[in-house]
């Protein structure tokens, strides 16, 4: 099974998670999600593996979050997934996936739970 990481090379937390994996001898498949956003199906599956809701992985401090009024509680999970796929900058990172498990790797050492 290939370990995957939703990675943003400009993000220090993302770089820490990638380094953590590499120190464990793991060369993950790097998903540059800002360049190649996940589909709604892919993100939905990732959320199931994370056992989180779309709101749990949203970067609420992003200007776009406020502009799109994503704090509206009436927005469905499906609507939020659509927004996250259209605007991947709103996805919290890094996300590490190993088989049927995933972790939002903040801090990086929580990755150990799925290795």
pLDDT exceeds 90 at position 110: yes
Number of domains in the chain: 1
Residue that is written with structure tokens 């996940």 in the block: 38
> Phi and psi of 108, rounded to 5°?
-60, -30
The whole domain housing 52 covers 3-114
- Give the pLDDT of residue 10: 94
- Give the pLDDT of residue 100: 95
- Give the pLDDT of residue 74: 96
As a whole number, the mean pLDDT across the chain is 96
- The predicted-structure confidence for 46-101, as pLDDT tens digits, reads as follows 999 999 999 999 999 999 999 999 999 999 999 999 999 999 999 999 999 999 99
Average pLDDT of the residues in 31-57: 97
Residue 55, domain CATH: 3.40.30.10
Catalytic residue IDs: 11
How far apart CA 31 and CA 63 sit, in angstroms, is 24
Bridging pattern class, strands 3-6 and 95-98: antiparallel
Q: Report how far Cα 12 is from the mean position of its chain's Cα atoms.
A: 14
How far apart CA 45 and CA 43 sit, in angstroms, is 5
- Give the pLDDT of residue 1: 65
3-state secondary structure of 3: strand
């Amino acid at each position: 099974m290939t370990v995957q990481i939703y990675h943003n090379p400009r993000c220090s937390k993302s770089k820490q998670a990638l380094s953590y994996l590499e120190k464990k001898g793991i060369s993950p498949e790097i998903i540059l999600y800002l360049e190649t956003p996940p589909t709604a199906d892919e993100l939905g599956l990732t959320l199931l593996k994370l056992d989180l809701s779309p709101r749990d992985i949203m970067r609420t401090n992003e200007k776009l979050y406020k502009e799109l009024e994503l704090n509206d509680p009436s927005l469905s999970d499906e609507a939020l997934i659509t927004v996250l796929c259209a605007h991947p900058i709103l996805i919290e990172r890094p996300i590490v996936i190993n088989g049927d498990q995933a972790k939002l790797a903040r801090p990086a050492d929580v990755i150990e739970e799925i290795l």
